C-alpha cells in the first residue's frame, strides 16, 4: 500500500481533512527523504514506516490544523526531523517558517528537504535560543529538556503570539508553568489513538 493511501486512511480515522493531490505528493516525497536519511543519521528512533506515518506525520498534521488563523511567521524550536515544522509548511505554505536545529546532521537533512521540496522555510542550524527574531508562533515537540526549552521558547514569541506544544497530559502543568504567567491556554486537543498525547496552545496576553 502506498504512503498516500496509508496517510489518507489515517486522516480519515482521525477525522482530519483529506489532503490535496499536491499535498499528498509532498508528504510522499518527504517520507521518502526521511526514511533514506533515517537509515544513516538517526533522525528518529522510530524505524517502521507505518509508525512514522502515525506518530510523526499524522500528529504533526493535527498540529497544523490546530494552529490559530492569521500566522505569518513560525519557529519550529528543535525541529529534529522536521516535526511538526515540515508538515506545517506543506499545509500552510503562506507561513514563513524557521526550522531551528542545533545538531549538524539533522540540520543538513532539514536543509536538503527544504531545497528539494522548495518550501518557504529557513533552516537555523544552531540553538534556537540564539535567534534575535520574534515570531507569531513557536512550536515544540519532543525537545530535549522540554521544560527548559519551553521557557526559552516563550521569550521568542511576539506580544499576543502563540506557543504550541506537543506534549502529554502528565507534563502539561509543568510546561504551562515554565512558559510563564502571561499565557492564556486553550483546551488541550487530544491526539488520535493516544490516552495522553495532546496539543497545547497558549496565547501571550
pLDDT at 133: 95
Which tens digit of pLDDT belongs to each residue from 13-39?
999 999 999 999 999 999 999 999 999
Q: Across residues 162-167, what is the average pLDDT?
A: 98
- Using CA atoms, how far apart are residues 157 and 134, in angstroms rounded to an integer? 5
Position 1 pLDDT exceeds 80: no
pLDDT at 44: 87
Which tens digit of pLDDT belongs to each residue from 62-96?
999 999 999 999 999 999 999 999 999 999 999 99
Helix (H, G, I), strand (E, B) or coil at 122: strand
pLDDT band at 55 (very low <50, low <70, confident <90, very high): very high
pLDDT at 77: 98
Position 131 pLDDT exceeds 80: yes
- Using CA atoms, how far apart are residues 136 and 116, in angstroms rounded to an integer? 26
**Domain 3-204 annotated CATH 3.40.50.620:** no
Query: Is the backbone of residue 204 left (phi > 0), alpha (psi -120 to 50) or beta?
Result: beta
CA atoms within 13 A of residue 24's CA, in its CB half-sphere: 15
40 Cβ contact partners less than 8 Å away, ≥ 6 residues apart: none
Query: Is the backbone of residue 21 left (phi > 0), alpha (psi -120 to 50) or beta?
Result: alpha
Which tens digit of pLDDT belongs to each residue from 105-123?
999 999 999 999 999 899 9
In degrees, to the nearest 5, what angle opens at C-alpha 198 toward C-alphas 197 and 199?
A: 145
177 Cβ contact partners less than 8 Å away, ≥ 6 residues apart: none
Grid coordinates standing for 109? 537533512
pLDDT at 91: 98
Position 171 pLDDT exceeds 70: yes
Among residues 15, 3, 26, 12, the alpha carbon closest in space to that of 92 is found at 26
**CA 39, 40, 42, 47: dihedral to nearest 10 degrees?**
10
How far does Cα 13 stand from its chain's mean position?
A: 21
Amino acid at each position: 500500500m502506498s504512503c498516500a493511501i496509508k496517510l489518507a486512511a489515517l486522516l480519515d480515522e482521525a477525522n482530519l481533512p483529506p489532503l490535496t493531490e499536491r499535498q499528498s505528493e509532498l508528504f510522499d516525497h518527504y517520507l521518502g527523504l526521511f526514511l533514506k536519511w533515517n537509515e544513516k543519521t538517526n533522525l528518529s528512533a522510530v524505524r517502521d514506516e507505518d509508525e512514522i506515518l502515525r506518530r510523526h506525520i499524522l500528529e504533526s498534521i493535527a498540529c497544523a490544523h490546530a494552529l490559530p488563523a492569521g500566522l505569518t511567521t513560525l519557529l519550529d524550536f528543535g525541529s529534529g526531523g522536521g516535526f511538526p515544522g515540515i508538515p506545517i509548511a506543506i499545509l500552510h505554505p503562506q507561513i514563513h517558517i524557521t526550522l531551528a536545529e542545533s545538531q549538524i546532521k539533522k540540520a543538513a537533512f532539514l536543509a536538503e528537504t527544504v531545497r528539494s521540496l522548495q518550501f518557504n522555510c529557513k533552516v537555523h542550524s544552531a540553538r534556537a535560543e540564539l535567534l534575535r527574531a520574534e515570531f507569531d508562533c513557536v512550536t515544540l515537540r519532543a525537545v530535549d529538556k522540554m521544560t527548559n526549552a519551553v521557557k526559552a521558547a516563550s521569550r521568542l514569541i511576539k506580544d499576543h503570539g502563540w506557543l504550541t506544544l506537543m506534549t502529554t497530559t502528565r507534563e502539561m502543568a509543568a510546561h504551562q508553568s515554565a512558559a510563564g504567567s502571561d499565557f492564556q491556554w486553550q483546551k488541550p486537543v487530544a491526539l488520535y489513538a493516544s490516552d495522553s498525547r495532546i496539543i497545547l496552545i497558549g496565547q501571550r496576553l
